[in-house]
């Protein structure tokens, strides 16, 4: 069940039932038409069917896929009936290996790359793995990347803006902003699609999904450097959508409210802080991700923003 409110800036506020990943699924279809299913039974093992569509064997790069939202996204793609071919990355080799083994045991076509995308070397290493992925013979579009999910992000929380050091600022900026900016540039040649003969548009499209935060939309206690990077992501999403739309690249951004991940738990375990978070959410719940097909027994509703720049703005 979703509720969408349209305003002058075409920002879509969406109330989700059960899970954040359903929102993600609305904007990753690689066709030019988006299908929205009116209801979802998230406990059903066949939860992917009719929820979203992809060409068989679509290739996907999901950064930071071993934890939280990234893990849930890889699982959603991997467990879908479309046979997605997925590449994810992480800095910790042991955690990455454990996740890859877990996904493969469930029948997911996932491979991993140990890389720190906040560094130039890490991005270069990851791109070599991307080239191997997209040149496998059974890909939906050989030589091309179908989906890029920019999920990597981090945060450092301080009491006040004046408490942040220059090193703090640089670390957050290079991890949250520079990493996805530079990586998307590197992926750009593999995301571009051919135009229809005699037309100014592309029949097939690729999709870039940026994982942002409502911290980039409104004022909250997430820390000013973090909020600034997420606001920059929102703006860049719109710019890229308009700039790259004619090349067949769709660019959208999902900006969730607090999602109950390990990173968020650093502050949500503080009951006073958690109370201030819930008071700003009329549903009095934080969101959560799903670990594989296992859904928490606690029913959760959460609020987020979906920037459908490619689909509605340009």
Catalytically active residues are 226
Token pair for 63: 């950064």
Nearest to 252 by CA among 197, 200, 188, 206: 206
CA atoms within 13 A on the CB side of 27: 29
Residue in this structure with the two tokens 């060409």, named with its chain if needed: 55
- Which of 66, 61, 64, 167 has the alpha carbon at shortest distance from 116? 64
Residue with tokens 């037309």, as numbered in its chain: 199
Q: How far apart are CA 182 and CA 198, in angstroms?
A: 33
Give yes or no for a contact between 267 and 249, defined as CB atoms under 8 angstroms apart: no
Task: Kindly list the strands in the beta sheet with 4-5, ordered across the sheet, starting from the edge strand earlier in the chain.
Answer: 4-5, 12-17, 301-307, 249-256, 206-211, 147-150, 59-62, 85-90, 109-114
- Distance from C-alpha of 221 to C-alpha of 228, rounded to nearest angstrom: 12
The answer for residues whose C-beta is within 8 angstroms of residue 47's C-beta and 6 or more apart is: 40, 41, 293
Cα–Cα separations (whole angstroms), residue 36 to 53, 176, 283: 10, 30, 23
Q: How many residues comprise the chain?
A: 314
């Amino acid at each position: 069940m979703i509720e969408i409110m349209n305003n002058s800036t075409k920002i879509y506020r969406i109330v989700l039932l059960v899970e954040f990943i359903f929102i993600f699924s609305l904007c990753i279809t690689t066709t030019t038409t988006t299908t929205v299913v009116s209801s979802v039974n998230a406990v059903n093992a066949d939860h992917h069917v009719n929820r979203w569509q992809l060409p068989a064997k679509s290739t996907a790069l999901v950064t930071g896929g071993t934890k939280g939202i990234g893990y849930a996204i890889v699982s959603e793609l991997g467990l879908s009936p479309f046979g997605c071919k997925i590449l994810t990355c992480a800095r910790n080799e042991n955690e990455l290996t454990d996740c890859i083994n877990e996904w493969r045991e469930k029948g997911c076509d996932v491979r991993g790359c140990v890389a720190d995308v906040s560094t130039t070397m890490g991005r270069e290493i990851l791109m070599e793995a991307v080239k191997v992925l997209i040149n496998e013979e059974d890909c939906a579009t050989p030589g091309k990347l179908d989906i890029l999910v920019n999920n990597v992000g981090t945060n450092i929380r301080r009491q006040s803006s004046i408490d942040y050091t220059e090193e703090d600022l640089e670390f957050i900026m290079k991890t949250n902003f520079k990493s996805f900016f530079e990586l998307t540039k590197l992926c750009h040649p593999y995301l571009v699609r051919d135009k229809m003969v005699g037309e100014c548009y592309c029949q097939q499209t690729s999709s870039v999904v940026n994982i942002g935060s409502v911290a980039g939309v409104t004022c909250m206690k997430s820390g000013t450097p973090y909020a600034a990077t997420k606001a920059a992501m929102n703006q860049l999403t719109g710019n890229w959508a308009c700039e790259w739309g004619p090349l067949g690249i769709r660019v959208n951004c999902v900006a969730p409210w607090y999602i109950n991940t390990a990173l968020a738990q650093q502050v949500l375990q503080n009951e006073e802080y958690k109370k201030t978070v819930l008071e700003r959410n009329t549903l009095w719940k934080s969101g959560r991700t799903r670990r594989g097909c296992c859904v928490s027994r606690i029913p959760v509703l959460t609020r987020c923003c979906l920037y459908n720049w490619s689909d509605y703005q340009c």
